[in-house]
Structure 1
Amino acid sequence: MKRTWLLGGAAVIATAAATAMFWEPLAAEQTAPPAQRSYDVEIARDAFGVPHINGKTDADAAYGLAYAHSEDDFVTIEEVVAMTRGRYGALAGQDGAKVDYVYHLLGVRDTVERRYAEIPADVRAVLDAYAAGLNHYAAKHPEEVRLSKLFPVNGKDIVAGFVLRAPFFYGLDNYIGKLTEGEDPPKESAAAMTPIGRDPEMNGSNAWAVAPSRMADGKTWLISNSHQPLEGQVAWYEAVMHSGEGLDMAGALFPGSPFVLLGHNRHLGWTNTVNRPDLVDIFKLVLNEAGDKYRYDGKWLPLQAERVWLPVKFGWFTIPVPQTLYRSVHGPVIRNAKGSFAIRYAGIDNVKAVEQYYRNTKATNWEEWTRSMSIGGITGTNFIYADKTGRIAYVYNALFPDRKPGFDYTKILPGDTSAPVWKGPVSFERYPKIVAPASGFVQNANNTPYLAAGPGSELDPAKQSPYLGIELGMTNRGIQGTALMMADRSITPEELVAIKMDTRYAKSSWVKGWMDSLLAADVKDVPKLAEAQKLLAGWDWSSDGKGRADAIAERLIRHAARLNWRGEPLPDPRETLQQVVDEFNERYGRIDPALGDIQRLRRGKVDLPIMGGNDTLRATTMWDADQPDGKMRVRHGDSFIMLVRWDKAGKVVSESIQPYGAATSRPESPHYTDQMKLFVAGKYKPVHFEWADAQKNAKRRYRP
């Protein structure tokens, strides 16, 4: 979203400036803290600072998780809490105010207030305990709290974080941004079967589940390889949780989550990859001349309007910027020069995600896990599943709108009739899924679900409803991952890990057409471009850093990756080649620098070369190109990685790695960068899953 829609004019800013410093904290509403109680929990930190939390109850464990995570990254947790209260703009300025705008537009707080009592009591107890842990940390460290009256928080604030952030994962913010700016919504410009979803550079993840029949060691394997920003509000945080009530889970979570979101317990595990079904419908309203009513099924209904004030930080001041929000029976409404558009989206008015994630962690078998998945709270993302019995599965999960036949839902829909307005999501039974495939494996790398398990085990497109809006897009990672699995009938653990770390581009992927166009460009009149073309012709189709052309090939791929993801025409080959050649000569004085010399994993005083590519299984998806020395700092791609396996007796063992370390925002901690060398080398550290093992390997034990 652009910034212009927030400013509201110089007059508004000037008028508000005189009282701005006092307005925001005075206007902020403070929530009531959870009921006071004591929590019985112990935290053990291992050699890498990863917290292992053991509570008498699930609520105790959630309390301990909140405190431990705050010790490592309170600054980000505070930002997430500010988002759940519509006050993020007071911390992050205009960019934060955009999030606050969406918070109010979607009616997040109204949804939580209306639906919170529907959340089961045991889940609410965990939510309140997590909130209490945050409150305890904030009270003990008041110097770290940047916004007055932000704490205490309660369980409703935690749920609000899930309600607000869930639609961002399938790209609702893209629709809101375009409509707010008066641009055509994505559905008019995207191919019907390639929904835009999130920004392509913010999507990602690879995942595999492999049955014992396919593994040389006879074990069941699960590889979680998420691609997320390496820092910030959706960067993974690793933890292990235990409780006397059976909450035993190792894996990763985002700031603001009271439990692990992906990983494993003793019995089963799962991981996620971003999918992009069509989960948003846009309706054009017919308004009366006054613009305060809209026609619906032959009647004129009032267009609901609400005035809100967004706190926007400008230097020392926090200035209130007014926005008027509209709603119809369809959902939130955005008015622009082209008309008034209502948005209906997956997860609207839904708070069930917290229960579903919690029940997933407590499941002990496939039946319990699928019962949890049937709750219908997690708006999107593929699930790759494995358990100790050897069962593996792929679930193309989303809260698919239960659309009615007769309308083209890839276009703007008529808003004056209830006929195309769906009431809720389809049932879990209708989700596309592959369970126990004959191939012995399932995989996903953000590609269409129709390539997931190899020939003979794939989903049949003809059996899937077109109204689910399933994408047909393909990634190099999906093609390469499936091909490598199909090529080996008996995969050793070393071979499986090597597949995950593969840095090659397949010549059957979209990259081949892009490279062909670059090599075919007429550049005879520019010797530097001809030299680059010759270098590119000798590229070895890998981003392993061993070839002279790896760096320039990778840069050229990045110029086309976003457009390919969106299904849009790729850029002009000659212009792109000229741009990259000029950039490399300016930055490095040559067009053939080693990939490892320019692609770096950097944090604090640690600066390491890292291999991999934009769309390779070893993923380095996004660069910071504004480094003082002109090099490229990786800031998105492979993030939390976990290797899980169950032996024939059902015993689970796992390893994991993070790009940086457990102390997410504590530069003074030895755990700020202590995993970086292992990460770039493709190595892993043990997960001390059982509490007895955690105690044995603890470097520090304490009670918050």
Structure 2
Amino acid sequence: MKLCYLLLLPFSVAAQSSFPAETARWREQAQAVTIIRDEWGVPHIYGRTDADAVFGLLYAQGEDNYWQVEESVIKKLGRMAELYGEKELGSDANMALRQTAEQARRAYQRGSAPFRKLCEAAAAGLNYYLLTHPQVPRRLLTRYEPWHVLLYAGPDGTTHGITAGERRRLGLGGSGGPGEGAEGWAQQQESGSNAVALAPAKSASGHSLLLINPHVGFFGDNQRYEAHLVSEQGLNASGFAMLGQFWIWSGFTATTAWAHTNTAADGDDVYLENFDHPRDSTLYRYGRGYRTAVTWTDTLAYRTPTGLQRRAFRFRRTHHGPVIAQRGRTLLTIRHATPDFGGVAWQAWRMSKAATLGEFQAALRMRQLPTNTMYADARGNIAYWHGNAVPRRDPRFNWMNPVDGSTSATEWRGRHRLRQLVHLLNPASNWLQNCNSTPYQAAGAASPAAARYPAYLAYDPQTFRALEALRQLEATGPLTADGLRQLAFSPRLSMYAAWLPQVLAAYEREATRQPALRGELQAVADTLRRWNYCSAVGSRATTLAYAWGRQYSSHINQRFASSVPYFAPAIAPYLHGTSLPVPDSVALALLRAGTKDLTQRYGTPWVAWGDVNRLQRIHSSGSQEKFADDKPSLPVGAFTGGAGSLFAFATRPEVGQQRQYGVGGNTYVAVVELGPRVRAQSVVNFGQSADPNSPHYFDQALLYAGYQLKQAWFYREDVLALAKRTYHPGE
């Protein structure tokens, strides 16, 4: 009991009384770090060493959004139920099953001395922030350890067809999967990214250009944090980091730029395991016999009105990985190509320091990343790699689905080398794009042939966003940086351009047979027929199209079982097909239902899109704050990425609210021009700070909603000229 009490002491007291030598080191390191905040509050962090810059980055993250940094670590430690009660036990159990804390500790211990030093600097930066800000609430954590920055849950098998119900049979929740059914498919389409690279021949300036454009949730631990890191050891990288992490994930240096997109290059697999031994429940079938599973028990705490209670969970794992779900009498395990985050972090760090294509490829050859990578540099090179950490497998199996775990035929055979992955370097098209889409159309006619590769290297569909990017890149000549910005914010909805004419044709055929329909839907049909398929704040047609789309999502959710994975061929025509995959009667019924829904909600179907589609900042997930129509918000003309909007903006209807508010989509947009002096512009969806009292809480939202970017300053003289605050951590 005394130990628990000590752990709950305010960290400032514990640190000053228990670790005087340590706090002295933090203060000394803080003096080696200079943070310059520009006019948008973006921190430009200068240190003598790489570790100094990392110290400053995590300190700055604490200043801007400590609440979410702490929440992210708590979640990955599997301690959310200690904050939010029994409802979070499933999530915590999933982390305990994955042994996220043990994996992170091992990753830190196995790391090189330079890597461990960076982890230590990151923890020190957060701890020094708490030391110098005793007024900041400590909800659960009072001290950060170096391994905390390496916490990682990994995938939960959703893309391989595992359902929430199958996880719940074992008392487990999800851990980063996109959910199920229409909601899950929509999340998968929105939770991705766009990336475009232009070679000098496709650039009006004769310099390479790169678009960085992640699509993720606006709230929670996926938030993008813009920063610029500089050290005297060769570090000079600007872009975004994830909260609680110390490296620039996507960004640029003076000579290189890179971006990541989510991939369906298969980096994890689900196995069907039969624990059918008549006498020993720890034995699972393998080959002609059995193997013994590892079993253990963890006791997890959860908050109640009368104090913490505890519940024991029994876990097991096979040689493939942890048992994460139950399907009938069969158990399902998952194996991930990057089970710990140490390799990912070190590879990402090396990429942020690469000055040439050769150095960048050397980092990629570590093969730790679970993503695609787009690249451009000042020497005129552009490149794309589809996936990175991808196991070699027997191509006879369909690896999208769970495979038989009892046979050696489904064992991995090492990892593919970098040159074996689907990739392109300086294609004849002079451009590359990926919008969570197939790499076999990444460069138009200059793309690689799918027949050359195993299917599991690219299960990705051709998304409507990719179709729109291809249409624009193939139709235009050389682009300026501003032209690439316009492409990034393109509101054209290629899904409706493909499908809506079929809906209207169905209406005309049916109206010929049922003249009464003209009185009901003629004005709606006329409005949609005149539409240019571009979403806009003042567009009523956009709202009508959205209403049809909601009905369509409900229809396919009923049409398919929730266990159909997003990448399954059966669902592809319904999400990405260029022909509307429903009969005329259904298409028309959806139009009638959508129009009726608008009339019921607003009293009329004639509603401007900007009156419905809004951007509002609330506190991060876990709080009680909700979106509200009576709070300030901005109209946004963008649309969901699943419909082909390159400017992806996903909203969530709130019960009792007339408006819908953005919850995901474009979070960081940057256009980088790699000339003799690198130039970049960027924007985030809200602002740099999560403090409602900060001038940088919502200051970039006007740019974001107006399809504009700000300057992303890179050279110190520019940063100093526009500095609004210069200080050492702790001042």
TM-score range, shorter chain: 0.7 to 0.9
Within 1, Cα distance between the matches of 2:344 and 2:493? 36
Deviations 1:448-499 (A, max 9, x none): 11111121x101111112243x124122211111111111222233333222
Which shows bigger deviation, 137-146 or 120-129? 137-146
Letter in 2 for 1:614: T
Q: Which residue of 2 aligns with 1:549?
A: 541
Q: Which residue of 2 aligns with 1:99?
A: 91
Q: Which residue of 1 aligns with 2:369?
A: 378
Gap change, CA 1:585 and 1:687, over 3 Å in 2: same
Within 2, Cα distance between the matches of 1:243 and 1:272? 24
Gap change, CA 1:522 and 1:135, over 3 Å in 2: farther
User: What SS does the corresponding residue of 1:660 show, helix, strand or coil?
Assistant: coil
Within 1, Cα distance between the matches of 2:495 and 2:249? 35
Within 2, Cα distance between the matches of 1:266 and 1:146? 39
Residues 217 and 492 of structure 1 are in contact (CA less than 8 Å); yes or no, is this contact kept in structure 2?
yes
Residues 161 and 401 of structure 2 are in contact (CA less than 8 Å); yes or no, is this contact kept in structure 1?
no
Q: Which residue of 2 aligns with 1:637?
A: 665
CA drift of 1:441 comes to 0.7
Q: Which residue of 2 aligns with 1:458?
A: 447
Q: Which residue of 1 aligns with 2:633?
A: 607
Residue of 427, 443, 458 corresponding to 2:433:
443
Residues 436 and 460 of structure 2 are in contact (CA less than 8 Å); yes or no, is this contact kept in structure 1?
no
Which shows bigger deviation, 457-466 or 610-619? 610-619
Residue of 266, 270, 273 corresponding to 2:254:
266
Within 2, Cα distance between the matches of 1:289 and 1:23? 48
Which shows bigger deviation, 396-405 or 538-547? 538-547
Deviations 1:364-405 (A, max 9, x none): 1001001101112212x2211111101111111232121134
Q: Which residue of 2 aligns with 1:622?
A: 650
Residues 395 and 455 of structure 2 are in contact (CA less than 8 Å); yes or no, is this contact kept in structure 1?
no
Aligned residues: 661
Gap change, CA 1:337 and 1:402, over 3 Å in 2: same
CA drift of 1:549 comes to 1.2
Letter in 2 for 1:551: T
Which shows bigger deviation, 445-454 or 626-635? 626-635
Residues 24 and 90 of structure 1 are in contact (CA less than 8 Å); yes or no, is this contact kept in structure 2?
no
Letter in 2 for 1:344: R
Residue of 143, 146, 151 corresponding to 2:142:
151
User: What SS does the corresponding residue of 1:167 show, helix, strand or coil?
Assistant: coil
Listed as ranges, the matches of 1:625-704 within 5 Å are: 625-626=653-654, 629-647=657-675, 650-663=676-689, 665-704=690-729
Within 1, Cα distance between the matches of 2:320 and 2:498? 38
Within 2, Cα distance between the matches of 1:512 and 1:121? 59
Gap change, CA 1:312 and 1:276, over 3 Å in 2: farther
Which shows bigger deviation, 590-599 or 532-541? 532-541
CA drift of 1:86 comes to 1.9
User: What SS does the corresponding residue of 1:227 show, helix, strand or coil?
Assistant: strand
Within 2, Cα distance between the matches of 1:252 and 1:517? 46
Residues 642 and 655 of structure 1 are in contact (CA less than 8 Å); yes or no, is this contact kept in structure 2?
yes
Within 2, Cα distance between the matches of 1:23 and 1:405? 56
The answer to whether structure 1 residue 110 and structure 2 residue 102 are counterparts is yes
CA drift of 1:352 comes to 0.5
CA drift of 1:519 comes to 4.1
Letter in 2 for 1:180: R
Listed as ranges, the matches of 1:217-366 within 5 Å are: 217-287=205-275, 288-290=277-279, 291-314=281-304, 317-333=307-323, 334-335=325-326, 337-349=328-340, 351-366=342-357
Gap change, CA 1:621 and 1:684, over 3 Å in 2: closer
Structure 1's unaligned 5+ residue stretches are 1-18, 191-195
Deviations 1:527-556 (A, max 9, x none): 645654454344331212454311110232
Q: Which residue of 1 aligns with 2:587?
A: 573
Gap change, CA 1:198 and 1:610, over 3 Å in 2: closer
Letter in 1 for 2:660: M
Letter in 1 for 2:125: G
Letter in 2 for 1:249: A
Gap change, CA 1:603 and 1:508, over 3 Å in 2: closer
Which shows bigger deviation, 42-51 or 396-405? 396-405
Gap change, CA 1:387 and 1:98, over 3 Å in 2: farther
Within 2, Cα distance between the matches of 1:227 and 1:467? 24
Letter in 1 for 2:691: R
Gap change, CA 1:651 and 1:343, over 3 Å in 2: same
CA drift of 1:116 comes to 2.9
Within 2, Cα distance between the matches of 1:698 and 1:371? 36
User: What SS does the corresponding residue of 1:127 show, helix, strand or coil?
Assistant: helix
Structure 2's unaligned 5+ residue stretches are 9-13, 179-183, 558-565, 575-580, 619-630
Question: What TM-score results when the alignment is normalised by the length of structure 1?
Answer: 0.86
Letter in 2 for 1:43: I
Residues 222 and 645 of structure 1 are in contact (CA less than 8 Å); yes or no, is this contact kept in structure 2?
yes
Letter in 1 for 2:51: A
The answer to whether structure 1 residue 592 and structure 2 residue 580 are counterparts is no
Within 1, Cα distance between the matches of 2:432 and 2:36? 35
Gap change, CA 1:262 and 1:507, over 3 Å in 2: closer
CA drift of 1:684 comes to 1.5
Q: Which residue of 2 aligns with 1:135?
A: 127
CA drift of 1:349 comes to 4.9
Within 1, Cα distance between the matches of 2:113 and 2:291? 38
CA drift of 1:216 comes to 1.6
CA drift of 1:80 comes to 1.2
Gap change, CA 1:310 and 1:528, over 3 Å in 2: farther
Residue of 490, 504, 508 corresponding to 1:502:
490
Q: Which residue of 2 aligns with 1:15?
A: none
Letter in 1 for 2:608: A
CA drift of 1:697 comes to 1.4
Residues 481 and 672 of structure 2 are in contact (CA less than 8 Å); yes or no, is this contact kept in structure 1?
no
Q: Which residue of 2 aligns with 1:77?
A: 69
Residues 197 and 276 of structure 1 are in contact (CA less than 8 Å); yes or no, is this contact kept in structure 2?
no
User: What SS does the corresponding residue of 2:540 show, helix, strand or coil?
Assistant: coil
User: What SS does the corresponding residue of 1:637 show, helix, strand or coil?
Assistant: strand
The answer to whether structure 1 residue 177 and structure 2 residue 164 are counterparts is yes
CA drift of 1:703 comes to 0.7
CA drift of 1:661 comes to 0.6
User: What SS does the corresponding residue of 2:667 show, helix, strand or coil?
Assistant: strand
Which shows bigger deviation, 409-418 or 232-241? 409-418
Residues 548 and 595 of structure 2 are in contact (CA less than 8 Å); yes or no, is this contact kept in structure 1?
no
Residues 392 and 412 of structure 2 are in contact (CA less than 8 Å); yes or no, is this contact kept in structure 1?
yes
Letter in 1 for 2:250: L
Within 1, Cα distance between the matches of 2:250 and 2:257? 8
Task: Compute the RMSD of aligned alpha carbons.
Answer: 3.3
Within 1, Cα distance between the matches of 2:525 and 2:70? 49
Residues 279 and 346 of structure 1 are in contact (CA less than 8 Å); yes or no, is this contact kept in structure 2?
yes
Within 1, Cα distance between the matches of 2:508 and 2:312? 53
CA drift of 1:102 comes to 2.2
Residue of 402, 420, 428 corresponding to 1:430:
420
Deviations 1:315-341 (A, max 9, x none): 675443332211011111134543222
Percent sequence identity over matched residues?
Answer: 27
Within 2, Cα distance between the matches of 1:62 and 1:257? 9
Within 2, Cα distance between the matches of 1:340 and 1:683? 50
User: What SS does the corresponding residue of 2:717 show, helix, strand or coil?
Assistant: helix
Q: Which residue of 2 aligns with 1:394?
A: 384
User: What SS does the corresponding residue of 1:258 show, helix, strand or coil?
Assistant: coil
Gap change, CA 1:666 and 1:485, over 3 Å in 2: same
Within 2, Cα distance between the matches of 1:521 and 1:230? 43
Gap change, CA 1:359 and 1:504, over 3 Å in 2: same
